[in-house]
Structure 1
Amino acid sequence: MTETPNYTAAFEELKSIVSEMESGAISIDELSDKLKRATELIKICNAKLTATEGDVKTILKELEQ
């Protein structure tokens, strides 16, 4: 099993996939796999952003006290 990438790596890979799709560099044979991978990467990025938002809210709440 592959290791889950950090936010930066996931975002960079996602940008690469989007760029390939926009340029038409992805063949029909690859499209399904690329879309599945993009979905996984979006979930990773979303989870990290949500966790970071929670951390920031917690820190700000602590500072108010």
Structure 2
Amino acid sequence: MVDKEVKFEQALEKLEEIVDKLESGDIGLDESIKQYEEGMKLLKFCTAKLDEVEKKIEILVKDKGGKVTGSKPFKNEEGQDKLL
């Protein structure tokens, strides 16, 4: 599923479906391993997309001196500070 045409939202939705399947315990070992492998590919894809977007945002908010301006920390779902 992970290819150049996949959008972040689609990959995230598929990843959530895989997690639900794995957590349900309703699938066998072989299928669990297959789903886990697919999930890891999707996780890597989503992480790379988020890193790419974060870098683009950082470029947009930097001033001429290279300092990040207009940004403020925010808490993500885990309560960790992130730079916006």
Shift >2 Å, 4+ stretches:
none
User: Between Structure 1 and Structure 2, which shows a larger proportion of strand residues?
Assistant: 2
Calculate the TM-score normalised by the size of structure 1. 0.85
1:41 partner letter: L
Q: For the structure 1 residues 23 and 3, does the alpha-carbon distance in structure 2 shift closer, same or farther, using more than 3 Å as the test? A: closer
What corresponds to 1:43 in structure 2?
44
Matches within 5 A, 1:18-57: 18-57=19-58
What is the aligned-residue RMSD (CA, Å)? 1.4
Higher radius of gyration, 1 or 2: 2
Calculate the TM-score normalised by the size of structure 2. 0.67
Unaligned stretches of 5+ residues in structure 2: 65-84
- The number of aligned residues is 62
What CA distance in whole angstroms lies between the structure 1 residues aligned with 2:2 and 2:16? 19
User: Between Structure 1 and Structure 2, which shows a larger proportion of helix residues?
Assistant: 1
What corresponds to 2:17 in structure 1?
16
Relative contact order, higher structure (CA 8 A, sep 6+): 1
Unaligned stretches of 5+ residues in structure 1: none
User: Between the two proteins, what is the percent identity of the paired residues?
Assistant: 31
What CA distance in whole angstroms lies between the structure 1 residues aligned with 2:7 and 2:28? 27
2:24 partner letter: S
